Each structure stands twice: as C-alpha cells, then as structure tokens.
Amino acid sequence: MARTVFSGGSVFDGTGTDPAPADVVVEDGRIVDVGTGLDGDEGVDCAGKVLLPGLFDCHVHVTVSDIGLLARVQKPFSYQFYEAARNLRATLKQGITTVRDAAGADLGIKQAVEDGLIPGPRMQISVGLISPTGGHGDAWHPSGLSVPLMPPHPGRPDSRVDGPDEMRKVARTLLRAGADVLKVCTTGGVLSPRDDPRHSQFTPEELDVLNTEAKMQGRPVMAHAQGAEGIKNAVRAGVRSIEHGIYLDDEAIELMLGNGTWLVPTLVAPVNVLRAADAGVDLPAAVVAKAREVVVAHRDSVRRAHAAGVRIAMGTDSGVGPHGTNLEELALMHACGMSPADVVTATTSSSAKLLGLDDQLGRIEPGWRADLVVVNGDPYDFPSLPTNIHEVWKDGIRVV
C-alpha cells in the first residue's frame, strides 16, 4: 500500500495544543508517522494549510430536512432516505467524518455508508426517540392528527412509552433494531408545541430501567434534557450525555461534574428554529415563542458549564437547521467562553471520547485512523472555516 505524506503544513493534533509545523504519513488507512522531514510514495502539498483530525457532530438527524408541518405531509415515505444520502454528503463536505444520529436514521442508512453505497460520515445511531405520551416525541395535535418528524416504520419502531415495563420493551426493541445509543427525552422541548422545555418527563424508576437495559448491552444513553430537574433526573440515572442543557442550574452542573456527564449544547438549534420562522416555515406559534425564550438562557448555561469544567462535545441538531451548515456551532461555542483550541478539541478528540472512539479517532497520532481535514488558513477563524475546507480524507481516502 502506498505511503502518502501530507507535508509542509501545520498540524492540530487534537490534544488541545495550537497547530505546529509537522508532516503526517498515512498508509493503509492509518496514520503511521507524525514529524518533520518525512517522505512517502505520494505527496499532498499542505504549504500554508493546517491539518485537523476528522471532525465530529454528536447530534444530527440525517432523515430530517424540514421542520414545517406542511412539508412533512407532502413527501412520499421513501423520500427521507434519499434526503438522508444528500444530507450525509453535505455533512462530509464540512470536514465531519463521524456523526451520532440522535433519532431518525435506521440500520439501513448506517450500513449503506459502511458498505460504500453512499458517501458520508461514519455513524452511530439511536434509531428512535424514547418519549412518554404527551412528551417531546409525541407528535399529537389538537385536531387528533399525529405528524411526527420521524414516523415509525419497520426499521424505526414506535418509541413512545409509559411506565417501566414499556420502557424495558422499547429499549430492547431499539437495541434489536441496531441502536448504538439509546436516546430518551427527560424534558419537554422547543419543537413539540404541547409541552414545556422546563418540565420533566419520565420518572426515576423509568429512567433506571432504561439505563439498566442499555448497560446490559454495553450501550450508553443520551438524554434530550432542557429543564434543570429533568437534567438532574437523567444524570442521576447514569446517562452519558445531556443534549441541549438549556436551563442548567448550579446543582445540575455539580451533578454532571460528579458523574462525568457530557454536555452536547447544540447552541445553533433554537437559532435555526427562529430562522425557519422568519423564512415563513409553518411552525406553531408556541414553538416560535419557546425558541425565542430559550436562546439567552441556553448560552448562559453553556457558559457556566464550561467555566465549571463540564466536559463538552460538539453537536448541532442538524435537521432542525440545514445540513451542511454544522460548523456554525463553533463560533457559538467560542462566544460562550471556550477558547478556539477548546472548541476544536470539543469537535475532535472530546467528541471521540464521548462516542467511545478515542482510541482510534479524534487525534492525529500514529496508529489512529487517517481521518484528516486540510484547511486553508487559520482553523480558528470559525466564520470562514466552512469555505476554507480544502480536502477531507476518511480512512486514508480523499472523499472531498
């Protein structure tokens, strides 16, 4: 197998240190050497450029492309899978080589990427969104109609549950369907018009059953959690990550620190809801009002969590906003007090650790898989970063 050397540039290795001059040698899909004056059989000229590890987005919905009610009911059932292929390709072009789908993608989509049928980031999937009746994942409307973002189908079982016994059944059903992680709603949300983000969903008993089932199969739990009490319930139950974390209080932050719980902020998500409303997307008035209400509290919570030392990984909730705009999140993280190096670390090695992939991805280091992003100019110039992505390599193969 040919040795490819990326030479003449600088390297951000994923450890949190600033970029430094170095060459990187790749062979058979792996990084085999990092240093200066290296050679190989083939060369990639990186003069004036910076190499980053392949980026992560730990919260996407690749089968979701529209959040408006009317758009959802007008598309044929199978259209979502073709949209997913487009969305995965757009995400890859951002330098994101690994994603965690937070409900929507089924095992077929993941396998299509793995088998090379469609280009895209490697995937971890949760398949469905575990929600109680009347909760964030219940798409019932006062008309009596249900218009879910992700309708159930054979590869994506219905995941509404009430009570510990139903929780056990649905957890096992989602794991059977191929879930790498179980996603649960422990509070209301913004896009669900009939609930409140500050209100809790599921009892500690229900959450304990979920976490027990996940642990028995070696799987983590991620929690859509926005209100403080629902966040604390999730942390006490042993979830691995809090998604959104809009209304964190001091006790919730201390619990997260004590339990080593991760925060995936998705700061851009409510911003994208407001953009959609301004563009005329047909959203319930309650949804728009909640999005306006949470933006400031969300940023304050993330700022305080970071200052306290809570572990943070990058996620966007893409699907709520357009796929292929994922890197907007980085500037918002920076505005919450994270240094540029902290932001890129959260998008590389920290995300890899959250996903249990930190022994093979998220760093530029010998032995790691050769996911590399070649960036023109300064990688800390976050507003310009999307247009500065020059090349993307996944497992040693140039994919963009």
Digit-by-digit pLDDT tens for the chain (400 residues) are 789 999 999 999 999 999 999 999 999 999 999 999 999 899 999 999 999 999 999 999 999 999 988 888 899 999 999 999 999 999 999 999 999 999 999 999 999 999 999 999 999 999 999 999 999 999 888 888 888 889 999 999 999 999 999 999 999 999 999 999 999 999 999 998 889 999 999 999 999 999 999 999 999 999 999 999 999 999 999 999 999 999 999 999 999 999 999 999 999 999 999 999 999 999 999 999 999 999 999 999 999 999 999 999 999 999 999 999 999 999 999 999 999 999 999 999 999 999 999 999 999 999 999 999 999 999 999 999 999 999 999 999 999 9
> Which ranges of 190-337 would DSSP assign to H, the alpha helix?
204-216, 228-237, 250-259, 268-278, 285-308, 328-335
In order of 62, 127, 223, 242, 257, the CA distances from 311 in angstroms are 25, 25, 15, 10, 8
In order of 5, 108, 168, 380, 385, the CA distances from 351 in angstroms are 26, 24, 28, 18, 19
Sheet of 23-27: strand order equals 30-35, 23-27, 3-7, 42-45
pTM confidence score:
0.96
Angle at the Cα of 179 from the Cα atoms of 177 and 181, rounded to 5 degrees = 160
Q: Which residues pair with 31 in a beta bridge?
A: 26
- Which tokens in the block code for residue 77? 């059932």
d(CA 39, CA 3): 8
Domains of the chain: 3-53+363-398 (2.30.40.10), 55-326 (3.20.20.140)
Whether 150 and 61 have beta carbons less than 8 Å apart is answered as yes
